Structure 1
């Protein structure tokens, strides 16, 4: 079922179960989506401004270039999902579960993700400027090309993570756990000569 340009603002969609539904250019602003369950759905260029998606569960669902502005996502689960190109502004995110999810090109400036498990996630070219990623588990995560200026990764576990030289220079990595390859890349990014 495909829905295009529908206005769901202020709608009560609490606890709905959606499978194989497709939404394009729909407005979910201020909607009550608490407890929403989706499977195999797609949301393209949809607006979730001030929507309540708390306790929602999403499996194999794509949110493509969607806007999450002051959206509540606490206690939500995203498993095998795609959030490519979506933007998160001043959202309530913790606690949040993300497993096998693609966050390529996502905009999460200033996002509060402290102590979140982000193992193996794809953050390629993501905007994580000034994000709070303290004590996060980013093992095996792909941060290639991610913008990390002012991001706080202190105490984060970055073992096996892919991170570019710019990220190693621009982020706060005090106390982060890294593997040998990342330690060498960090030293080189800071101008050290390794013999």
Structure 2
């Protein structure tokens, strides 16, 4: 696997190192030893799937609070997404900064999202599926979410979403939550 650290410390783009021949290719998409060698959390305990019918579906920005904060390994298995993470670690040099990465089924590219980051995406194609491997079990009382269009983050989405759930539309702005 090829690990490329992003400008957000601890967040990595992970590409499959393809060994190709006339049949196609072979490569590893997860290896506990390689994750640990890069100082990454390898304790993946749950896998979730998100299926999205239409291009322009937006999900986010989601995370879990301590003590159930989770690391995510995100991969698009069908279609394509613009995947976004925001660093919400108060002591981080990149606090409230974000990155966006295109993940699609053809590239097998993954995004490693450390604890303390909010995560969301917009689908770039109809019939898009996303798989998340996470290091904590889902814990409803620890769920935290922020608006996808929050001015505190100024995320530059590739286009306006077509579909955002009522739940995701109802999230309070970041500044309102930290002052509460």
**TM-score w.r.t. structure 2 length?**
0.28
TM-score, normalised with respect to structure 1: 0.26
Q: Which one has more relative contact order, counting CA pairs under 8 Å at least 6 apart?
A: 2
**Per residue, is there more strand in 1 or in 2?**
2
